[in-house]
């Protein structure tokens, strides 16, 4: 009995050590809510923590991450999209419960739907053709996300049978859907890279889109001059003394930026051991100390360049190019085909889209440009709104997620090399506090 009692106590200790501990404090910082997570270290735990916060559309203003040895600790400074502290107790409780889950569900709850994964060459009118095929094959689109980058498109579309409301399980019907969509994606000259498949949808939707774009090697394709000018500044250097590779990123701040970067590093099989994240106005400065899963740093110049290109691509994919149009209308079969056909007939290209339905209402967001990627003509936008309904299709500005005093804050923090050479500040301070470095001076 005593032996079994000791085993029980040991098992309880293991559970306590493995379960993340979360502390949420609204008093320690004057401008943000502090979220602290301490846990046993495992691959992907940082991504899980960041995902919980970004799925709630919270803005991560600052973060410090330390993950040497067997332990992981991260301290986030977060606000809502209006720059305010978190005061809703239900949101705080949800964060605590989600972060204290050892292996959270990443699927986003699309069980019971058929998930279609599509990648190929982007072109004007492609979405119109895709949604027309789905409507013709009696597929009702419940939810979808579409990204474009460097002339490529990736989309994850969740559908059900429009007659029964059930998942599409008939193998012959699924084969017809895949075959017709693949023909649409091929177009005239994209046979090798057009891909269509049915997924079990067990991965977080936006993480899966990153994986699809990465597998399609969108980071290798030559960006436009505009994209090249807007690319994030990314550097990779080896810190030989600590056997880390140090990745610095400087770019425009936006919502979900940290998720996109950590997602990419995780899926490229790198482990983040230390990191500091700071924002000032509309700028973000991020520094990561990484290694491969086997504990080795980046070993070649070619690998460094690949990391740089992949991180730049991850940051650019979510960039909101074009005019943001919000559609709120009663859902009906073929609605998406009609709306996107109207875009195509007016030579508008959809660069990004988020499709959702809630209680028979279609709540859709489209970002559109003209056929060559320039700003859409306001007269054309107004004409389209007249056709679809002025009350149904609205032009919306991006949400206010940046502080207004960007210029003064940027001067206070410093830009460019001052931040990119920040190794020896917060990261070394973290090492010192953990007893892994003799000095952080």
**How many whole angstroms separate alpha carbon 393 and alpha carbon 321?**
18
Where helices occur in 318-352 by DSSP H, the ranges are: 335-345
pLDDT band at 402; cut points 50, 70, 90: very low
Tallying the residues shown for the chain, one arrives at 441
Q: Is the dihedral of CA 427, 431, 437, 439 positive or negative?
A: positive
Is the pLDDT assigned to residue 34 strictly greater than 80?
yes
When pLDDT is cut at 50, 70 and 90, the band that residue 9 belongs to is low
Pair of tokens at residue 14:
């293991």
Secondary structure (3-state) at 17: helix
- pLDDT tens digits for 148-199? 999 999 999 999 998 888 888 889 999 999 999 999 998 766 556 678 888 7
Other C-beta atoms lying within 10 Å of the C-beta of residue 162:
17
pLDDT, tens digit, for every residue of 259-285? 999 999 999 999 999 999 999 999 999
Percent of the chain with pLDDT over 90: 67
- Is the predicted pLDDT of residue 126 greater than 70, yes or no? yes
Residue-level pLDDT at 429: 46
321 to 128, 147, 310, 313: CA distances (angstroms): 19, 11, 19, 14
> What is the rounded distance in angstroms from the CA atom of residue 84 to the CA atom of residue 78?
9
Q: What is the pLDDT of residue 18?
A: 62
Q: Could you give the CA distance from residue 389 to residue 145 in angstroms, rounded to a whole number?
A: 23
Which residue matches tokens 């206070």? 412
CB 211 within 8 A of CB 117: no
Among candidates 207, 182, 210, 184, which has minimal Cα distance to 197? 182
pLDDT for position 35: 98
H helix intervals, 220-256: 225-230
What tens digit of pLDDT does each residue of 287-308 get? 999 999 999 999 999 999 999 9
**pLDDT tens per residue, range 58-106:** 999 999 999 877 889 999 999 998 999 999 999 999 999 999 886 666 5
Q: Which domains does the chain have, with CATH numbers?
A: 2-106+224-316+407-433 (no CATH), 114-202+321-396 (3.30.70.260)
Which token pair is 27?
């008093």
Which three-class secondary structure state does DSSP give residue 113?
A: coil
Give percent of the chain above pLDDT 70: 79
322 burial (CB, 10 Å; 0-12 / 13-18 / 19+) is: buried
The reported pTM is 0.84
The enclosing H or E element of 358 equals strand 348-358
- Virtual torsion, Cα 387, 392, 398, 403, nearest 10 deg: 140
Helix segments in 137-251, DSSP class H: 171-186, 205-215, 225-230
Helix (H) or strand (E) holding 281: none
């Amino acid at each position: 009995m005593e032996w079994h009692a000791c085993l029980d106590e040991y098992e309880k200790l293991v559970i306590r050590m493995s379960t993340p501990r979360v502390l949420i404090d609204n008093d320690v910082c004057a401008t943000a809510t502090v979220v602290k997570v301490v846990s046993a270290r495992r691959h992907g735990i940082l991504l899980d923590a960041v995902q919980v916060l970004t799925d709630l559309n919270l803005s991560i203003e600052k973060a410090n991450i330390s993950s040497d040895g067997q332990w992981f600790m991260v301290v986030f400074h977060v606000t809502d999209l209006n720059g305010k502290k978190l005061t809703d107790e239900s949101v705080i409780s949800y964060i605590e419960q989600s972060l204290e889950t050892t292996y959270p569900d990443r699927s986003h709850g699309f069980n019971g739907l058929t998930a279609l994964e599509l990648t190929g060459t982007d072109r004007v009118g492609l979405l119109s053709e895709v949604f027309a095929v789905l409507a013709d094959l009696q597929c009702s689109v419940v939810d979808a996300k579409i990204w474009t980058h460097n002339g490529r498109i990736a989309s994850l579309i969740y559908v059900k049978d429009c007659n029964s409301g059930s998942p599409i399980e008939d193998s012959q019907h699924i084969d017809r859907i895949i075959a017709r969509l693949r023909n649409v994606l091929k177009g005239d000259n994209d046979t090798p890279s057009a891909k269509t498949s049915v997924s079990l949808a067990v991965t977080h939707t936006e993480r899966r889109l990153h994986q699809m774009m990465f597998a399609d090697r969108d980071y290798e394709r030559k960006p436009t001059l505009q994209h090249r000018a807007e690319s994030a500044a990314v550097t990779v250097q080896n810190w030989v003394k600590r056997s880390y590779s140090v990745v610095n990123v400087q770019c425009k701040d936006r919502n979900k930026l940290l998720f996109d970067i950590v997602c990419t590093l995780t899926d490229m099989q790198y482990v983040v051991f230390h990191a500091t994240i700071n924002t000032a106005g509309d700028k973000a400065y991020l520094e990561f100390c990484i290694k491969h899963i086997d504990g080795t740093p980046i070993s070649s110049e070619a690998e460094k360049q690949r990391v740089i290109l992949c991180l730049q691509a991850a940051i650019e994919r979510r960039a909101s190019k074009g005019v943001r149009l919000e559609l709120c209308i009663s859902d009906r079969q073929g609605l998406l085909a009609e709306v996107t056909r109207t875009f195509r007939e007016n030579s508008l290209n959809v660069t990004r889209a988020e499709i959702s339905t809630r209680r028979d209402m279609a709540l859709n967001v489209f970002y559109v440009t003209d056929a060559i990627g320039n700003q859409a003509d306001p007269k054309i936008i107004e004409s389209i709104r007249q056709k679809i309904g002025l009350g149904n299709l609205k032009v919306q500005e991006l949400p206010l997620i940046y502080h207004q005093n960007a210029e003064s804050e940027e001067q206070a923090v410093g830009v460019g090399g001052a931040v990119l050479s920040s190794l020896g500040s917060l990261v070394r301070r973290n090492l010192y506090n953990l007893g892994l470095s003799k000095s952080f001076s």
